[in-house]
Amino acid sequence: MAGPIYVNLQEGISLETAVKLVKVVADALQKGHTELHLLMSSQGGLIDPGMAIFNFLRGTPLKVTTYNYGNVDSVSGVIYCAGTKRLATPHCKFLIHGITWRIPANTNVTELREQQIREFLGQVDAMKHNIGSVIAEATGKTVEAVAADMTKGVTLTATEAKPYGLVHDISTTLVPAGVQIVSL
């Protein structure tokens, strides 16, 4: 049986990030690893790939521990919540905020039909609910309380994130000596 695997996620969340992380985790599972230690410092990014990473990690038999050693912002907070054990360094931060909808720059959108606007709003509501549900489950807060924090935007230090329920422990130690860290 293989020991734990340590993976460093220090980039924005995109489809490419999700594909790379899933490949590393799938390879680890094939090699018999039973523990994943995910070291994180990410400004967030695209919601759909972030939710896919969360769902994938939760759907594996791996014991997942997540670490914030810089910043876990936006959708990277959802990925952080995949950890059954969540650690943070003393000088890191977390950002919880509402949904950003991007209209691709290479389009000449000058008008939208009412139905399109309703579809966009439906997607925004679903994304906000899904993110709020993940954070609520991890923290013990209600979905409504998390949604309110998302609407106003909340930045937490490690010390503040602990009573919030995001962080289980604050530690200056990330990895033991001699381990190999896989970087994405």
6-22 pLDDT, tens per residue? 999 999 999 999 999 99
Res. 106: pLDDT tops 90: no
Checking DSSP bridges between strand 93-96 and strand 85-88, what pairing results, if any?
unpaired
Sign of CA dihedral 73, 74, 79, 85: positive
What pLDDT is recorded for position 1? 67
What pLDDT is recorded for position 101? 77
Domain assignment of residue 176, given as a range? 5-183
For residue 75, give the CATH number of its domain. Answer: 3.90.226.10
Average pLDDT over the chain reads 95
Query: Which has the closest alpha carbon to 134: 46, 74, 68?
Result: 74
pTM for the full model? 0.94
Q: Give CA–CA dist 145/55, Å, rounded.
A: 22
Alpha helix (H) ranges present in the chain?
A: 15-30, 47-58, 76-80, 114-139, 143-152, 158-164
Per-residue pLDDT tens digits for 124-167 = 999 999 999 999 999 999 999 999 999 999 999 999 999 999 99
Checking DSSP bridges between strand 93-96 and strand 154-157, what pairing results, if any?
antiparallel
Q: Give CA–CA dist 104/168, Å, rounded.
A: 38
Res. 108: pLDDT tops 80: no
Q: Give the chain's domain count.
A: 1
Kindly list the distances between the CA atom of residue 106 and the CA atoms of 77, 102, 103, 112, 156, in Å, as whole numbers in the listed order. Answer: 29, 11, 9, 16, 35
Q: Rounded to an integer, what is the distance from CA 103 to the centroid of its chain?
A: 23
Q: How many CB atoms lie within 10 A of CB 49?
A: 21
Res. 55: pLDDT tops 80: yes
List, in order, residues 6 or more apart from 89 with CB less than 8 Å away: 67, 68, 69, 70, 158, 170, 171, 172, 174
Query: Which has the closest alpha carbon to 97: 50, 147, 143, 51?
Result: 147
